[in-house]
């Protein structure tokens, strides 16, 4: 049985989160700090707010639970990712900052799924991207990669 | 229903284009997870997106994409891959190409391009009956760190001595046609699956950490791995050993691998090693080995005996996985031998986790499990994965009745295995 060592994480808005070290090291960034032995006090996370950290910890805890089946994890992930784009971006930025490759991949896949199969116009609408090409420029790009636009 | 309330909330949130301002590595990852055409189309979204796909360092042209495009015609396929590579900006760090469903792809030219543009990870799947010869550009590529080839002919130029920076080499259904020397200090992982002509291979790689060899005949001279002092992972699955001399080589090999941590052997290896009289105690003790994965035909007492001797040679074994091969059940006399439990005279103190795969509920398996449960005082978990549907209740009840040396051992009977 591994010893349950608790780590304290401090988010940008000053809130502190206590977490099992075994769970927190899903973040490669935190893992490095633990290995370099600079975790005597709270670990500062200036790039993550408490709202996002709560969600990240929720994900980490679920994925560290014993006896959870693959189906149950898939259901959890589905519900976890069924949020508005801006929540996803906050999560993505946090996961990237914390260097949790697994979580980054899961969220990137969700964003990719929201892009897949849509026309450029639909994608722009969905993600509020402004089309700043002239019609001539747009036509040129279409011709360059005609195979993709068929 | 959830989506409706999100859309309503979205109307209240600021309409801000945040996706275009995500870190570049994140956007690259999103594009990598999209089908190729979808990723290419992002170049038209806005000026910010214009060249993101063109500069994507990892280009994956997978089987579904290639098959779909090649369905139009081979010429069209070649033209499109040409276009993709020509409009690419910057180095191609990773290039995955699966042309197993394409008739006449123009591979050489594309290999020339990526090897000149800094490719580090290269994966090439040719079709099943292809006679494609790996071109010299690949053998001479100085930037390669990871190479995966399927269905090719591997004939290096005379000057070839090994890839200077390669750490991972994965060859599946690859054919060697003449003496091939791979002298490579940097090689860490080597996988040879179902290759032909492995008798021509001479591998000198002192830094090798992982070796995976799955073959129908043992032609590979295992002697060349005897000096791999850093080997931590060995997987051997050979269907057919042709000479008894191979037994000595295998034993010599196991004896030399003092740093081995994970070992997988199949019933054919056990059959070879147990041929003839099995001595009491094996000539090697591997202290670093903590994970053993064995394919055993429990109907053959020689194999069962050798498996137990192996288990005893690894004093720090903490994880054991057994997959049951062979359908014959054990004879009564041999059952008594296992039941007597003298074959495992001392307890396995470090063993914490045992899994039985493809469990069919034969007498031999039940006695084997009973033996393990009685001799593992530190056991935390015993998992049984049945091969198919069995009379589960009866088997489970019988398993539960076996006495356990470890008070905290949990028995997991896994019915829904992926």
Residue B382 CB: number of other CB atoms within 10 A? 24
Q: What was the pLDDT predicted at B241?
A: 80
Q: What was the pLDDT predicted at B148?
A: 97
- Poorest-pLDDT segment among A72-86, A128-142, B184-198, B297-311: B297-311
pLDDT above 70 (res B5):
no
Mean pLDDT of B201-228: 84
Contact B93, B122 (CB under 8 A): no
Is A92 close to B26, i.e. CB distance below 8 A? yes
The answer to whether B20 contacts chain A (CB < 8 Å) is yes
For residue A104, which residues of chain B lie inside 8 Å, CB to CB?
Answer: 26, 29
Contact B34, A112 (CB under 8 A): yes
Q: How many Å separate Cα B206 from the centre of its chain?
A: 21
What CA–CA distance (Å, rounded) separates B114 from B85?
8
CB-neighbour burial class of residue B383 (10 A; exposed 0-12, middle 13-18, buried 19+): middle
For residue B89, which residues of chain A lie inside 8 Å, CB to CB?
Answer: none
Q: Which of B153, B161, B123, B119 is nearest to B135 (CA)?
A: B153
ipTM: 0.93
Average pLDDT, chain B: 86
- Looking at residue A91, the DSSP 8-state letter turns out to be H
Contact B235, B213 (CB under 8 A): yes
What are the angstrom distances between the C-alpha of B173 and each of A7, B104, B162?
A: 49, 19, 20
For residue A109, which residues of chain B lie inside 8 Å, CB to CB?
Answer: 33
Phi, psi of B338 (to 5 degrees): -70, -40
Q: What is the pLDDT of residues B322-361, one digit of tens each?
A: 998 876 677 777 777 777 767 777 788 899 999 999 888 8
With a pLDDT cut of 70, the percent of chain A lying above it is: 98
Q: Is B172 helix (H, G, I), strand (E, B) or coil?
A: strand
Pairing state of beta strands A6-11 and A16-20? antiparallel
What are the angstrom distances between the C-alpha of B170 and each of B124, B125, B323?
A: 11, 12, 25
Q: What was the pLDDT predicted at B278?
A: 65
Contact B344, B312 (CB under 8 A): yes
Contact B146, B168 (CB under 8 A): yes
The residue ranking higher by pLDDT, A101 or A5, is A101
With a pLDDT cut of 90, the percent of chain B lying above it is: 45
The pLDDT-based confidence of B246 (bands split at 50, 70, 90) is confident
Mean pLDDT of B54-80: 93
Q: Is B282 helix (H, G, I), strand (E, B) or coil?
A: coil
Q: What was the pLDDT predicted at A1?
A: 44
Token digits of residue B136: 């010299």
The answer to whether B354 contacts chain A (CB < 8 Å) is no
Token digits of residue B44: 């038209």
Contacts for A91-96: CB closer than 8 Å, 24+ residues apart: A91/A52, A91/A55, A91/A56, A92/B22, A92/B26, A93/A47, A93/B22, A93/B23, A93/B26, A94/A47, A94/A48, A94/A52, A94/A53, A94/A56, A95/A56, A96/B23, A96/B25, A96/B26
Q: Which residues pair with A114 in a beta bridge?
A: none
The pLDDT-based confidence of B223 (bands split at 50, 70, 90) is confident
pLDDT above 60 (res B105):
yes
Q: What was the pLDDT predicted at B1?
A: 55
The answer to whether B83 contacts chain A (CB < 8 Å) is yes
The answer to whether A135 contacts chain B (CB < 8 Å) is no
Q: What was the pLDDT predicted at A58?
A: 94
Q: What is the pLDDT of residues A20-56, one digit of tens each?
A: 988 998 999 999 988 888 777 788 899 999 999 999 9
* Nearest chain A Cα distance for residue B285, angstroms: 27
Is B49 close to A144, i.e. CB distance below 8 A? no
pLDDT above 80 (res A16):
yes
Task: Please list, in sequence order, all residues whose beta carbon lies within 8 angstroms of the beta carbon of residue B378, skipping any fewer than 6 positions away.
Answer: B348, B349, B350, B351, B352, B406
Query: A132 to chain B: nearest residue by CA?
Result: B46
What CA–CA distance (Å, rounded) separates B324 from B337?
19
The pLDDT-based confidence of B4 (bands split at 50, 70, 90) is low
- Poorest-pLDDT segment among B10-19, B164-173, B220-229, B352-361: B10-19
The pLDDT-based confidence of B164 (bands split at 50, 70, 90) is confident
What CA–CA distance (Å, rounded) separates B351 from B50?
57
What CA–CA distance (Å, rounded) separates A149 from B316?
59
Q: What was the pLDDT predicted at B10?
A: 52
Residue A20 CB: number of other CB atoms within 10 A? 16
Partner residue opposite A129 with nearest CB, options B2, B17, B76: B17
In what order do the strands lie in the sheet containing A43-45?
A16-20, A6-11, A43-45
Q: What is the pLDDT of residues A102-124, one digit of tens each?
A: 999 999 999 999 999 999 999 99
What is the residue whose two structure tokens read 């055409």? B37
Q: What was the pLDDT predicted at B22?
A: 93
Q: What was the pLDDT predicted at B12?
A: 47
Mean pLDDT of B189-198: 92
Contact B306, B277 (CB under 8 A): no
Helix pair A85-98, A101-115: axis angle to 10 deg: 150
With a pLDDT cut of 70, the percent of chain B lying above it is: 92
> Which of A:95-134 have CB within 8 Å of B?
96, 104-105, 108-109, 111-112, 115-117, 120, 123-124, 127-133
What is the DSSP annotation of B70-83?
Answer: HHH-HHHHHHHHHH
Which one of A98, A128, A133, A136 would you mutate to disrupt binding with B, by most B Cβ within 10 Å of its Cβ?
A128
This prediction has a pTM of: 0.86
Q: What was the pLDDT predicted at A63?
A: 92
Q: What was the pLDDT predicted at B98?
A: 95
Is A115 close to B15, i.e. CB distance below 8 A? no
Token digits of residue B213: 């060899």
What CA–CA distance (Å, rounded) separates A88 from A103?
11
- Poorest-pLDDT segment among B6-15, B44-53, B284-293: B6-15
What are the angstrom distances between the C-alpha of A24 and each of A4, A56, A83, B136, B413?
A: 12, 10, 24, 47, 31
Contact B270, B247 (CB under 8 A): no
Q: What is the pLDDT of residues B368-378, one digit of tens each?
A: 888 888 888 99
Is B41 close to A145, i.e. CB distance below 8 A? yes
The answer to whether B45 contacts chain A (CB < 8 Å) is yes
Mean pLDDT of B299-306: 84
Q: What was the pLDDT predicted at B418?
A: 44
pLDDT above 60 (res B160):
yes
The H or E element that residue B319 is part of is strand B319-324
Q: Which residues pair with B296 in a beta bridge?
A: B324
């Amino acid at each position: 049985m591994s010893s349950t060592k608790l780590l304290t994480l401090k988010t940008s808005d000053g809130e502190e989160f206590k977490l099992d070290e075994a769970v927190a090291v899903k973040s490669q960034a935190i893992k490095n700090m633990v290995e370099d032995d600079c975790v005597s006090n709270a670990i500062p996370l200036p790039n993550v707010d408490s709202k996002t950290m709560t969600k990240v910890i929720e994900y980490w805890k679920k994925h560290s639970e014993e006896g959870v089946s693959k189906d149950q994890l898939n259901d959890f992930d589905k519900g976890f990712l069924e949020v508005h784009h801006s929540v996803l971006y906050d999560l993505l930025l946090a996961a990237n900052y914390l260097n949790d490759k697994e979580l980054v991949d899961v969220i990137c896949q969700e964003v990719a799924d929201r892009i897949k199969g849509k026309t450029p116009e639909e994608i722009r609408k969905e993600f509020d991207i402004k089309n700043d090409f002239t019609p001539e420029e747009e036509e040129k790009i279409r011709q360059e990669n005609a195979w993709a636009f068929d | 229903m959830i989506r409706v309330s999100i859309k309503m909330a979205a109307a209240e949130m600021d309409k801000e284009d945040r996706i275009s301002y995500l870190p570049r590595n994140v956007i690259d990852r999103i594009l990598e997870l999209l089908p190729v055409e979808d990723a290419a189309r992002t170049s038209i979204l806005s000026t910010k997106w214009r060249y993101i796909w063109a500069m994507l360092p990892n280009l994956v042209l997978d089987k579904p994409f290639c098959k779909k495009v090649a369905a139009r015609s081979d010429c069209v396929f070649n033209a499109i891959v040409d276009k993709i590579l020509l409009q690419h900006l910057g180095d191609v760090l990773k290039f995955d190409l699966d042309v197993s469903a394409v008739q006449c792809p123009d591979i050489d030219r594309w290999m020339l391009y990526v090897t000149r543009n800094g490719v580090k990870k290269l994966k090439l799947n040719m079709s099943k009956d292809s006679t494609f010869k790996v071109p010299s550009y690949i053998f001479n590529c100085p930037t390669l760190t990871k190479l995966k080839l399927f269905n090719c002919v591997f004939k290096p130029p005379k000057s070839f001595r090994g890839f200077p920076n390669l750490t991972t080499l994965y060859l599946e259904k690859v054919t060697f046609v003449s003496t091939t020397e791979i002298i490579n200090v940097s090689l860490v992982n080597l996988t040879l699956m179902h290759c032909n002509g492995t008798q021509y291979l001479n591998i000198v790689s002192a830094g090798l950490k992982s070796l995976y060899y799955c073959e129908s005949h043992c032609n590979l001279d295992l002697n060349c791995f005897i000096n791999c002092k850093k080997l931590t992972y060995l997987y051997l699955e050979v269907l057919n050993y042709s000479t008894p001399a191979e037994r000595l080589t295998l034993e010599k090999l196991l004896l030399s691998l003092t740093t081995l941590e994970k070992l997988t052997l199949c019933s054919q290896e056990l059959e070879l090693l147990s041929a003839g009289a099995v001595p009491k105690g094996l000539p090697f003790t591997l202290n670093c080995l903590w994970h053993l994965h064995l394919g055993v035909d429990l109907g053959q007492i020689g194999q069962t005996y050798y498996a137990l001797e192996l288990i005893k040679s690894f004093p720090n074994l903490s994880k054991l996985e057994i997959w049951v091969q062979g359908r014959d059940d054990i004879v009564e006399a041999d059952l008594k031998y296992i039941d007597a439990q003298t074959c495992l005279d001392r307890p396995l103190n470090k063993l914490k986790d045992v899994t039985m795969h493809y469990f069919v509920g034969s007498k031999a398996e039940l006695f084997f499990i009973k033996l393990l449960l009685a001799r593992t005082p530190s056991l935390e978990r015993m998992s049984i994965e049945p091969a198919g549907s069995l009379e589960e209740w009866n088997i489970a009840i019988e398993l539960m009745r076996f006495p356990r040396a470890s008070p905290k051992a949990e028995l997991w009977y896994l019915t829904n295995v992926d």
